[in-house]
Amino acid sequence: MRSLQAALPFFLLSFIPTALGAPNEPLSDVVVRELLRRAAPDSPSGDYAPATVDCPSQKPTIRDAATLSPSETEWLQKRRANTVDPMMEFFKLANISGFDAANYVQSNSNNFSVVPNIGIAMSGGGYRALMNGAGFIAAADSRTPGSTGPGGIGNLLQAATYLSGLSGGGWLVGSIFANNFSTIPQLRDGQEGSALWQFSRNILKGPEDSGLSILNTAEYWNDIAGQVDDKRDAGYGASLTDYWGRALSYQLINARDGGPSYTFSSIADFDKFIAADTPMPILVTDERHPGEVVIALNSTVFEFNPWEMGSFDPTVFGFAPTKYVGSNFSNGAVPDDGHCVRGFDQYGYVMGTSSSLFNQILLQNISDSSLPDFITNAITSILEKLGEDENDIAEWRPNPFYKYHPDTNGNADTELLTLVDGGEDLQNLPLHPLIQPVRAVDVIFAVDSSADTTFNFPNGTALRASYQRSREAIGNGTKFPAVPDAETFINLGLNRRPTFFGCNSSEFTSGSDSSVTIPPLVVYVPLTPYTAYSNASTFDPSYTNEERNAFIENGFNVATMGNGTIDAEWPACAACAVLSRSLERTGTTIPETCRSCFQRFCWNGTTDSTPVESYEPQPLLGLTTLSAGVHIKASGLIWAAASIAGLALAL
């Protein structure tokens, strides 16, 4: 282990100006051009409202979920090949002693049953999750200056096939792809006059000086209300999530008025995505049945990807084309006299659906004097129709899965598909899409920014939820590694450092059955303080630029264990996790370095369920932003007492 005294000066002096670029320094013309080339304003209406269009010659249908879509299958052929070179660079940087991992990949580069398949999952947790996750992405992205230096894990993002997110983690994933797969420094610093990632201005008040058409709070909300009215006037229902998603877009999409005509399916038309030069983005949400208040683990989990939205769960077990998701489907097809619709998959609405719990920010501030009367009246009117137990929903009408699989689909007889925040079933890590056997993922880097404890730190609740769900019928044959209780996570320090789950694949096999699918190894990367207390309240709506930058910096430290300060072999150990399933499949001898890593980072089944009275971790490297830490720990106490649908501490 390198000494703190030796490593800290390098890190503090080099991280902000070098690893992420000096915040708010003048951006190069190349960076500005990248930000200007945004995702596509693909809605045929030209605004927020969906629009009726001619159906294609082959009308859209609902696809059975037994396989991957033809589009994903075709794209994977290019993407898996494109991951080989960055994976080799990642392994070269990791430098596993006594084993040439780069050569191992190169020599098997035409055999993708050998080349590891990597997924990255970003948890929910509001802005806390966005910023902590951004630090991880910055560390994993080879384009971030300093990410490929000593102690770095650069190229991991370029080597990944899938990048999933939900709620606050979905904002991160969504913002990256809405802005042309921009780097974290580009998103953080934006461009002159841009509201992008300017979290210092409360989202309720809108951009202070965005350089767009919004000049004050009243105009901001008038613009949002007008866009939602356009959707309503076009014949579609509106929920609180419409208002939330529109407000969110101003901060996350670098486009005029938050890009009201941008669609999630337009990602599929993005040049870099067509060329498979980026991972595949997936956002996760949960289904709520009529009359339900609490979302249980057996609720259907839906995903949105550039081509499709739907579920692998046995309840629905089907996917609709994302581009045509507003069409009038019935029993899996658009009827002969039916019509097709485009633009329903509006980008902000998809991100808002995955984070609908944050409708609570609007509700908690409905009497705020800064909100104009017309928006307060609009929200109140929706609440009167919904009732207080349904204020966290996103309304997807018409239901794409109407009359589809009626024997198992509890919503098959309703024309409304009600979706809610992807973390409401306690699966606050979007692992569901990545553990599906048809995707054959080998390793998942699960970045957990959940607020499971009094002071808003994770304790493995999201992992336990996925493990428990895998043992029920709703799991549909998917498997998940065993996970210990919350007390064990804290008492053994499993939430203070990266921890591997599923190292011993024998836990998934029974006897000599060779047909058993081995699930991915899960590399659990929990938020913990290194250089800042980034454990902000999930529902904190604003952050200074200094806090934002400190949170991202801390996330970079979480990803790299302080650039190797805490464990100089961490990059090699991360590489060993990536290789684990592949080495096992090929019968390759496990390198001694990897054996040592697995001994240190794999949970070996030991438990310690001694009750924990309070969990207040101290920074591992020393605070760089003391004032932020004091403020955040104080706000944690306030929100620890809150209970919004029983979830204020779960997300």
Q: Which two tokens stand for residue 477?
A: 């044959």
Can you give the residue ranges of every domain in the chain?
Answer: 4-38+75-207+251-311+423-640
Strand segments (E) across 32-136: 51-53, 63-64, 118-122
Fold entry, domain 4-38+75-207+251-311+423-640: Cytosolic phospholipase A2 catalytic domain (3.40.1090)
DSSP of 568-591: TTHHHHHHHHHHHHHHHHHTPPPP
Q: Which helix (H) or strand (E) holds 158?
A: helix 156-159
Give, in order, the Cα–Cα distances in Å from 419 to each of 287, 332, 599.
Answer: 5, 19, 42
The strand pair at 63-64 and 51-53 is best described as: unpaired
Alpha helices, DSSP H only, in 253-367? Answer: 271-274, 347-354, 359-364
Angstrom distances, CA of residue 530 to CA of 47, 232, 560? 44, 47, 11
Sorted by sequence, the CB contacts under 8 Å of residue 331 that are 6+ apart come out as 402, 403, 404
Q: Which of 152, 432, 158 is nearest to 282 (CA)?
A: 432
**What pLDDT sits at residue 204?**
84
- Give the CA distances from residue 430 to residues 52, 129, 342, 351, 584, in Å, rounded to whole numbers and listed in that order: 32, 13, 27, 14, 26
Q: Which of 309, 307, 222, 294 is nearest to 257 (CA)?
A: 222
Q: What span, in angstroms and rounded, lies between the C-alpha atoms of 438 and 649?
A: 33
434 burial level (CB within 10 Å; 0-12, 13-18, 19+): buried
**Are the C-beta atoms of 105 and 73 separated by less than 8 Å?**
no
Q: What span, in angstroms and rounded, lies between the C-alpha atoms of 175 and 169?
A: 10
Conformational region of residue 295, where left means phi above 0, alpha means psi within -120 to 50, and beta covers everything else: beta
Helix (H) or strand (E) holding 33: helix 29-36
How many angstroms separate the Cα of 275 from the Cα of each of 53, 74, 144, 334? 28, 11, 21, 31
* pLDDT value for 575: 98
Q: Which residues of 609-622 are buried (b: 16+ CB within 10 A; e: fewer)?
A: eeeeeebebebbbe
Q: Rg of the Cα trace of the chain?
A: 23
Nearest to 151 by CA among 507, 475, 511, 569: 569
User: For each successive 10 residues of the chain (651 residues), what is the average pLDDT?
Assistant: 32 40 53 52 94 95 98 98 98 97 97 97 97 98 96 98 98 97 95 87 76 66 90 92 94 90 97 97 92 82 98 98 97 93 98 90 75 80 62 88 96 94 95 98 98 97 97 93 98 98 88 71 98 94 94 98 96 98 97 98 97 95 58 35 32 43
Lookup: tokens for 34? 């990248």
CA distance 452 to 544: 24
d(CA 208, CA 217): 8
Inter-residue contact 515 to 615 (CB < 8 Å): no
Interacting residues of 259 by C-beta distance below 8 A, sequence separation 6+: 38, 39, 41, 178, 249, 253, 347, 348
According to the model, what pLDDT value does residue 214 have?
54
The H or E element that residue 304 is part of is strand 301-304
Residue 552 CB coordination number (10 Å)? 31
Specify the pairing of strand 308-311 against strand 51-53.
unpaired
Contacts of 357 (CB under 8 A, 6+ apart): 167, 392, 420, 421, 423, 424, 644, 645, 647, 651
